[in-house]
Amino acid sequence: MTTQTHIAVENPATGEVIGHVDDMTAQEVGELARRARAAQPGWEAMGFDGRARILKRMQRWLTDNADKVITTICAETGKAYEDAQIAELSYGAAAFGFWADKAPKYLADERIRSSAIFVKGKRLVLRYRPVGVVGVIGPWNYPLTNSFGDCIPALAAGNSVILKPSEITPLTSLLLAEGLAECGLPDDVFAVATGCGPTGAAVLDEVDMIMFTGSTATGRKVAMRAAERLIPASLELGGKDPMIVLADANIERAANHAAYYSMFNCGQTCISIERCYVEAPVYDDFVARVTEKVRAIRQGVPAGPGSIDVGSLTFPPQVDTVERHVDEARDRGATVLTGGHRGPDKGYWYEPTVLVGVDHDMACMREETFGPTLPIMKVADAEEAIRMANDSEYGLSAAVFSRDLKRGEAVARRLNAGAVTVNDALINYTALELPMGGAKPGSGVGHRHGPGGIRKYCRQQSLLISRFNPRRDIHMHPYKATRTRLLGRLLAILNRGVS
Ligand code: NAD
């Protein structure tokens, strides 16, 4: 017998409890998985067109219910209205349409041509079949984008999906599950398993493939369990993304990107700009501009469009991490140019903060801060900037600013990051055709987006189809003289090619 417990969901901007969800047991997750497994063949049999109709209806549902969705996201994350609108609702709506359209192309049978003489005249085909039941485990920073961004391609491929959202932000997932049901998704094809870490571990124990987004530490545990079960795992983990500003950059553009993309979503984006390296001749100008822009940011409780620029932190312990990084840097000689304090109100707050005089012995330059801070470091030249940018266990994304596009691209190509932008930042994430993932283990294994972003939810099946031809088929006469003669002829043909 199990005892049902509940998790209280808080609005991190106000500290108010806004709902409760079940803390699901392993037994309950097992039941969801049993039903998901039973529903999957019917969903697969609906084909790309049948599934696309429902996914497209859901795209429409998201825009029709935009206010409700954004309000729910803001309430459980504390983020600004625009952060939810741009980076969650718009992304989600685009993703439902994108995967509905692209699944048939990315998962089409591939005709394979082979140089092997033994398969001459035979039809070789590579096909993609859904794995069955996919588990998606999500973090709290983007409850729609990070969880559904992975559920959608998994569904489009014909899988059932069990989503385990973060226990901090489960309400958006439950709302979207209602939307999917309204749009005609067959029962049990999609389920939300609310709960904490043990619920995630239970999901991992039931599914045929796991897609995990979260911290590097949890990702390691997930990878170990997936290895024990011998199921495929795709891991999108932490980041410490660098930005390099070369002396010939447009400094206003670079400063705008640095200020916006370090503070966007209160700095709680895996691909946030977390550290800056600036060539000495433009350092003072860049620092002055960034400081002015960050100082002007309006932080507060989100109250609809245009009310604030940056909201609260979402995860309570994050305030301690940010404080530790800033205090440690200050103690070691860094200067705080703006911000540098916890907020005084109820909820979880830290001021938008700019730090200078930092070095690579400081946690703020090495560990993921995941908060509204931007440490800026002066470098002698591009070589030093590249060395510093690559001096990290992480390698998710990076940005380079230079008016000389050739030079900018040359620097970009030397950075060990999964994605690098030149004179831009983060916006590559909206191009769903372009793969995104970590280049170093600390940032994950695998990719989302692009053809690989849906093929990973499939098993490959190779088909070889032979026409029956008794005169030409050497395997028709095993252990007979004809076989030896035919093999001899084949070898002679092959050897002719070698000489
Ligand atoms: P987290 O690792 O604490 O939790 C992520 C999820 O894992 C949660 O749903 C949690 O309940 C679950 N979980 C915890 N223990 C588990 C276990 N043993 N087995 C299975 N599931 C378990 O991460 P978080 O604090 O929610 O998210 C923040 C982190 O996510 C940051 O490091 C950030 O960089 C990263 N992130 C990465 C990306 C990316 O695309 N690379 C995107 C967003 C966030």
Binding site membership of 167 for ligand 1 (Cβ less than 6 Å): yes
446/454 Cα distance (integer angstroms):
11
193/136 Cα distance (integer angstroms):
10
- What is the predicted pLDDT for the residue at 482? 66
Residue 278 neighbours by CB under 8 Å, 6+ apart: 244, 245, 286, 287, 376, 377, 378, 379
Looking only at the bridges linking them, the beta strands covering 353-356 and 335-338 are antiparallel
**Which SS3 state, helix, strand or coil, does residue 148 take?**
helix
Angle at 32 between CA 31 and CA 37, to 5 degrees: 100
**Which SS3 state, helix, strand or coil, does residue 345 take?**
coil
Ligand 1 atom nearest the C-alpha of 167 is 11
pLDDT tens by residue, the chain, 499 residues: 445 689 999 999 999 999 999 999 999 999 999 999 999 999 999 999 999 999 999 999 999 999 999 999 999 999 999 999 999 999 999 999 999 999 999 999 999 999 999 999 999 999 999 999 999 999 999 999 999 999 999 999 999 999 999 999 999 999 999 999 999 999 999 999 999 999 999 999 999 999 999 999 999 999 999 999 999 999 999 999 999 999 999 999 999 999 999 999 999 999 999 999 999 999 999 999 999 999 999 999 999 999 999 999 999 999 999 999 999 999 999 999 999 999 977 999 999 999 999 999 999 999 999 999 999 999 999 999 999 999 999 999 999 999 999 999 999 999 999 999 999 999 999 999 999 999 999 999 999 999 999 999 999 999 999 987 666 655 555 566 666 677 777 777 767 655 4
E-strand ranges in 280-387 read 335-338, 353-356, 373-379
Report the nearest-CA residue for atom 13 of ligand 1: 197
- What is the predicted pLDDT for the residue at 369? 98
- What is the predicted pLDDT for the residue at 2? 46
Distance 413 CA to ligand 1 centre (A): 29
Residue 383 neighbours by CB under 8 Å, 6+ apart: none
Residue 365 neighbours by CB under 8 Å, 6+ apart: 240, 275, 358, 359, 375, 377
Give which of 294, 291, 363 is closest to 326, Cα–Cα: 363
Q: Which residues pair with 180 in a beta bridge?
A: none
Binding site membership of 309 for ligand 1 (Cβ less than 6 Å): no
Distance 218 CA to ligand 1 centre (A): 6
Enumerate domains of the chain plus CATH numbers: 6-237+450-459 (3.40.605.10), 242-432 (3.40.309.10), 468-498 (no CATH)
Quick one: tokens of 30?
């097992």
Binding site membership of 194 for ligand 1 (Cβ less than 6 Å): no
Q: Which residues are catalytic?
A: 236, 270
Quick one: tokens of 47?
């084909």
Binding site membership of 58 for ligand 1 (Cβ less than 6 Å): no
Choosing from 136, 168, 213, 229 the residue with most ligand 1 atoms within 8 A of its CB, the one to mutate for a pocket test is: 213
Choosing from 91, 173, 215 the residue with most ligand 1 atoms within 8 A of its CB, the one to mutate for a pocket test is: 215
CA distances 454 to 137, 154, 234, 461, Å, are 16, 6, 11, 15
Binding site membership of 200 for ligand 1 (Cβ less than 6 Å): yes
